[in-house]
Chain A
Amino acid sequence: MISQIFILSSKGDHLIYKDFRGESGGDAVGVFYEKVTALTGDQPPVVMSHKGLHFVHVRQGGLYWVATTTADSSPFTIIEFLNRLSALVKDYCGSLSEKSVQMNFALIYELLDEAVDYGYIQTTSSDVLKNFIQTEAVSSRPFSLFDLSNVGLFGAETQQSKVAPSSAATRPIQSSREQGGKSEIFVDVIERMSVVIGSNGMLMKADVEGEIRVKCYLPNCSEMRIGLNEEFSIGKSQLRGYGAAVRVDEVSFHQMVRLDEFDSHRILRLCPSQGEQMVMQYQLSDDLPSAPPFRLFPTIERDSGGRLLMYLKLRCDLPPKSAAINVAATIPVPKGSLSLSQELSSPDQSAELKPQSRAVVWKIPRFTGGMQLSALFKLEVPGLSSASLLEVGPVGLSFELPKLTATGLQIRFLRLSPVQPGPSQRWVRFINITDLNIFTERSFS
């Protein structure tokens, strides 16, 4: 049971406030924000209490989504609901930000009114809600030259653009109904990989959490079929096909997915409702089918002037045709590091010292497979001792691998039925977000 729901910006502005039960008087929002700002940590605890008021909050899109509730209510339910609410708002407003929430507050009030009555969750299904929601979304699309490039001479659609602009999936779902927006469907395969590599280069831990998401802008789509690779196998014992097996440990599907063709042909059948939904989640731990995409060769020493020298060589083991983008290496450095001087191998890279997080962040916008980059960092650390070297590392690497999945999962085809009248477009994206931790040499002297 939820007493109140409010959405706060990170600066504490009231964006949305709705009191469902009128029981808890007083300024709950103020109390919450006071509690949040009183804390020094990087994020306040999920549950906070104040005189019989219990706040549960999640952070999405840089906003606080807060519910006040009673002590005996289920945290799983409330957190799931707040997450679902933010997903709904994202679907209806196009994107999730302070600005979009501010511009669409009437729509969000309407959503809240239909989704929750007297503190009880009624429905969060976008299929049901779309019949009730009347307000239209106001979307703010920043002007971008990229949009222009898609428009050919005299406004004609060009054939050359086979790739959807990255902002294409961030528009409100409802515009497709009235404004004749394009009927499009997006299928995203998102894999989150977290890998820890020991100082000897040995793989210590590898986890992949993947999901297939469908974002649907089709007004009426009765059935959709997604074909995965035929050799996709689940669990350790099962093996399919002759090629390199694509294997995961555990799979779970959204309840609307029908699996009658899954066993034989690896086809998922579903009727997507408008908006975004998770079709499939899967996990793989420990043995990755391929080697981790990066290797790091660090050398750390003190020079005669008492400075800390870090010489890092980073090699990308991807096939030469693919590349990693937005690579960021975070190297923790000793406390009290003052200044950083750097030698990087190309001008598009950058590195800076972040004193509050005590780390050097080395950014590489694009890293083609087979390349090797090196960087030399010199740090001024007053009172550098041999023990301070212990504080260096582990190095964290995060990057995105477009068009590549760590598990090797592919989408063979995407079919819609009945055949859509008029032009409809189908997009498939692969996103791989990785957290790689590489331990540098550690030994206690």
Chain B
Amino acid sequence: MPYLGGEETVRELRRALSNPNVQSDQLRYRNTILKVIRAMSQGVDMSGLFSEMVKACATVDVVQKKLVYVFLCSYAALNPELSLLVINTLRKDCQDPNPMVRSLALRNMTNLRLPSLVEYVEQPLAAGLRDRAACVRRVAVLGWAKLHNLQASSEIDAAVVNELYSLLRDPDPVVMVNCLRALEEILKDEGGVAINKPITHHLLNRLKECDIWGQCQVLRVLQRYRPQSEDELFDILSLLDASLVSPHPPIMAATLSLFLSLCSGQPAVSLAALERVRGPLLAACGSGSREMRFTALCHIQLLLRSIPGLMGAHYKRFFCGYAEPAYIKQRKMQVLVELVNDENVAMLLDELKGYCTDVNAETAQAAITAIGRIGRSYSDRCLEILTGLLGLKQDHITSAVVQTMRDLVWVCPQCSDTVCFALEGCEETLQDSQGRQALLWLLGVYGERVSSAPYTLEVFIDGVRSEASLGVKMELLTATMRLFLCRPAETQDMLGRLLHYCIEEETDMCVRDQALLYYRLLHCGIEETRKVLQGRRSDPSLGVLIGRPAEPVSQWARSFNTLEPLRQGSIETESVSRGSPEHTMFDPKPNADLSNTLDCSRIEKVHSDGDGRCSDSSADILASSVAAPLSLSLFPALSPEEFERLWLQQLALHAEQEEAGKEDFVWMEECVRCPTIPRCSPQSLQAAMQLVNIQTLAFTPPQTLPWRVYLYTHTCLDDAPHSTLILGELLYTGEEPQKAEVHKGSADGGVGAEGIEDEQARQGMEATADGGQEAVKVTLRQQPRDDKALKGFLSILTTVLHTLSSERA
């Protein structure tokens, strides 16, 4: 900042400083110096007064001394020769009987940052290490670090390093911590201060003496320690337990960081530690300081990556306050999305709905995106809200809603009907290119269902000359091509015009090339074009019902308690895909190693071997009743929508089944005891299921309640003429089931079937009785009905679950 009249001020101050009258009056002298410093901190160049200030340094007034030192340290680099004059005064001050003066002189001597002065500084620093007063030792210890960094090339005396190590036993805790800091810097090339067992134990024992800052530093340095035995590890952990729940967020965070690095080989302990810090972290989220609240929120997001259900019960703590700044609101919404479950979804959506009309456009858009994310699990409710928002006819809201709908349809194609219906008429409100791109994509892909699609595109095509956005033009081309494929009569003329414009007049190469590509493609014939353009309409990858699968702690442990999580958008793993969703898609890799059908006899063997431990008697009975070998197959594949349709249709029919009688399918429920299954990672569950050719379609992340998995397979018995389709749901509620129920829908079951049913019911009860609160409820649906195959399937499934849970245990 330029300061007018600076030179005038400097001249005036110089006159005052050299005035003997001023110099003799302590108060006037001090006030003049104060003026110098004030001008300096306002940005005026005061370096011209250096020699006058050096003179002012020789005084008994400590306040004046301090002021002069502030000045000298700022300008010493500009006047190395004159600084030499100060050294004498400083060295004299180092002998002063007052420890405060000694520490002041020593600190500023090292703060001058002049390599030429090093030789004069070393001796007082060495004396400082042995000073009686702790405040001088504190300064001297750090002074060596400053000196080392000043001339990084020169070796620091080994004697000094040794002395610093011995000062780790200094009675003053700040000296001890400063020693750690200094050694870290001096020995940086060797990887920092040596952290061995005696030092670690010494530091841990003295941890309580330090203040917050010292404790944080010690905890941080200890992260390098590797305990020699498990006993030692657990001793350390229990010693630090109180720090883990400390009311001071810095200590809590530093301790958790240390826990995670110590327990990197013990995921279960790490997870327990995360549970333990839930309380303190939530308290930090309600701290009076916004910045602290924000920091805590960002770190909660990290924790949720490993334990998605960690904060489920506390979702209300993440509701946005009325006056909170936008950056906190947006983070809170990101957290809220992760916390959705069946119980709180209504409350959560109601709350998010309120944020959609926020004054801040970014907050409003974040709220809409959040509703879209929840829509992947609860599509009907969310679509209702989103459609309602379109009624507001505000450009930023409409744009966000259309983009959200596009992303939602990509993941949940079953929403497409509602979306297509809602799209009518929103092109008038859309202003920004992102929103229009999203609309064009939707019109292209679902054009046959939006009656007004050709007219909307025509408006875009007519305005293409004045269109500024490259993305919109490219999207327009693709959308028109796609629409042409399904509604050629209405679109042919406008497609011609668009291609003509883009090839003949468009100046942008990308657009022109794409238009040429399409033009040539059309020459190859309509079937070829269709093959190229009619790509996927939805994300083929495995859908997770709520949130995302849990990551191991080690994925993020290193960035915990650093600035990394606070960066903007660093957490947004589900980045709002800003192009067409296809661009981010990936193809599922068919597993070539696995045969499509698998003979079940191998499984049977595994089953009879491994069943001794987990004696599920009903499974035994079932297994023995399977006579013919059973094969499972994944083909033909079942899409998630198809699954949902069948499953829901089944649910509706199931109610009236009692009287309906002649149904072509069967419905059964069974309880299987496999205590650790809900804690299994989705990946291993999926892999295990695939091994026996059962396809998992969707599941909730581990640790959430209720925990669910949906799966399907096809069975073919060797002696049966046709194959059957089995759909299944695994449900774990975490509560003791009231009664193990076994339903059999169809009325045509013979006496034998009745008998089995009774037995199953009885055994199911027994299973519940002997400690079955860990039972996973299996609901199966088979079509067409084939009791044998169903029982065979159940036994395979039970085996898989048992194998998995015994692996976990």
Residue positions of A touching B, CB distance < 8 A: 13-17, 21-22, 41-43, 45-47, 49, 54, 56-59, 69, 71-77, 79-83, 105-106, 109-110, 113, 117-118, 120-125, 131-132, 134-135, 192, 194, 196, 204-205, 207, 209, 211, 250, 252-253, 281, 283, 285-286, 330, 332, 335, 357-359, 385-388, 390-391, 393-394, 396, 398, 435, 437, 439, 442, 444-445
Q: A385-B393, A387-B393, A435-B321 are in contact. Are A41 and B362 (CB under 8 A)?
A: yes
Instruction: Write the nearest CB–CB distance from B358 to chain A, whole angstroms.
Output: 9
Instruction: Write the nearest CB–CB distance from B392 to chain A, whole angstroms.
Output: 5
Contacts of A22 in B (CB 8 A): 113
> CB distance B216 to A77 under 8 Å?
yes
Additional A-B contact list (6), CB under 8 Å, known A77-B212, A435-B323, A439-B354:
A106-B37, A109-B67, A118-B145, A252-B247, A285-B317, A396-B322
Q: Which residue of B lies closest to A41 (CB)?
A: B326
Q: Choose the segment among B415-423, B556-564, B647-655, B731-739 that binds chain A (4+ C-beta atoms closer than 8 Å).
A: B556-564
Query: CB < 8 Å: which of B37, B145, B253, B384 contacts A76?
Result: B253
> CB distance A80 to B562 under 8 Å?
no
The winner among A120, A192, A393 for most chain B CB atoms within 10 A is: A120
Query: CB < 8 Å: which of B43, B113, B181, B325 contacts A42?
Result: B325
Query: CB < 8 Å: which of A17, A73, A253, A445 contacts B41?
Result: A17
A54 to B347, CA, bound (A): 39
Q: A14-B41, A14-B43 are in contact. Are A207 and B107 (CB under 8 A)?
A: no
Q: A46-B291, A46-B566, A80-B249 are in contact. Are A285 and B316 (CB under 8 A)?
A: yes
Against A, the Cβ 8 Å flags (1 = close, 0 = not) of B587-628 are 000000000000000000000000000000000000000000
Q: Which residue of A lies closest to B1 (CB)?
A: A14
A192 to B321, CA, bound (A): 12
Show 5 residue pairs from A and B whose CB-CB distance is below 8 angstroms, ordered by the A residue.
Answer: A14-B43, A69-B563, A73-B563, A120-B217, A386-B391
Q: At the interface, yes or no: B470 with Cβ under 8 Å from chain A? A: no
> CB distance B561 to A74 under 8 Å?
yes
Query: CB < 8 Å: which of A109, A121, A357, A442 contacts B37?
Result: A109
Contacts of A21 in B (CB 8 A): 149
Contacts of A359 in B (CB 8 A): 359
> CB distance B393 to A106 under 8 Å?
no
Q: How large is the interface on B (under 10, 10 to 19, 20 to 34, 35 or more residues)?
A: 35 or more
> CB distance B288 to A283 under 8 Å?
no
**Chain B interface helix/strand/loop/mixed:** helix
A260 to B664, CA, bound (A): 73
> CB distance A83 to B357 under 8 Å?
no
Q: Can you list the 6 inter-chain pairs with the closest CB atoms, starting with the nearest?
A: A444-B388, A252-B247, A387-B391, A121-B213, A396-B322, A77-B250
The winner among B138, B247, B563 for most chain A CB atoms within 10 A is: B563
Q: At the interface, yes or no: B79 with Cβ under 8 Å from chain A? A: no
Q: At the interface, yes or no: B142 with Cβ under 8 Å from chain A? A: yes
Q: At the interface, yes or no: B100 with Cβ under 8 Å from chain A? A: yes
Q: Which residue of B lies closest to A208 (CB)?
A: B286
Q: Which residue of A lies closest to B139 (CB)?
A: A117
Q: At the interface, yes or no: B62 with Cβ under 8 Å from chain A? A: yes
A250 to B314, CA, bound (A): 14
Instruction: Write the nearest CB–CB distance from B370 to chain A, whole angstroms.
Output: 18
Contacts of B520 in A (CB 8 A): none
> CB distance B359 to A358 under 8 Å?
yes
Q: Which residue of A lies closest to B107 (CB)?
A: A117
For chain B residues 289-328, which have a beta carbon within 8 Å of chain A? 289-292, 294-295, 298, 316-317, 319, 321-323, 325-327
The winner among B178, B353, B354 for most chain A CB atoms within 10 A is: B354
> CB distance A79 to B295 under 8 Å?
yes
> CB distance B566 to A41 under 8 Å?
no
Q: A75-B295, A110-B66 are in contact. Are A394 and B359 (CB under 8 A)?
A: no
Contacts of B298 in A (CB 8 A): 75
Instruction: Write the nearest CB–CB distance from A199 to chain B, whole angstroms.
Output: 10
> CB distance A390 to B392 under 8 Å?
yes
Contacts of A285 in B (CB 8 A): 316-317
Instruction: Write the nearest CB–CB distance from A31 to chain B, whole angstroms.
Output: 14
A352 to B70, CA, bound (A): 49
> CB distance B253 to A113 under 8 Å?
no
Contacts of B534 in A (CB 8 A): none
Q: A83-B292, A394-B354 are in contact. Are A445 and B391 (CB under 8 A)?
A: yes
A58 to B289, CA, bound (A): 8
Contacts of B292 in A (CB 8 A): 76, 79-80, 83
> CB distance B249 to A391 under 8 Å?
no
Q: A45-B568, A117-B138, A207-B317 are in contact. Are A16 and B327 (CB under 8 A)?
A: no
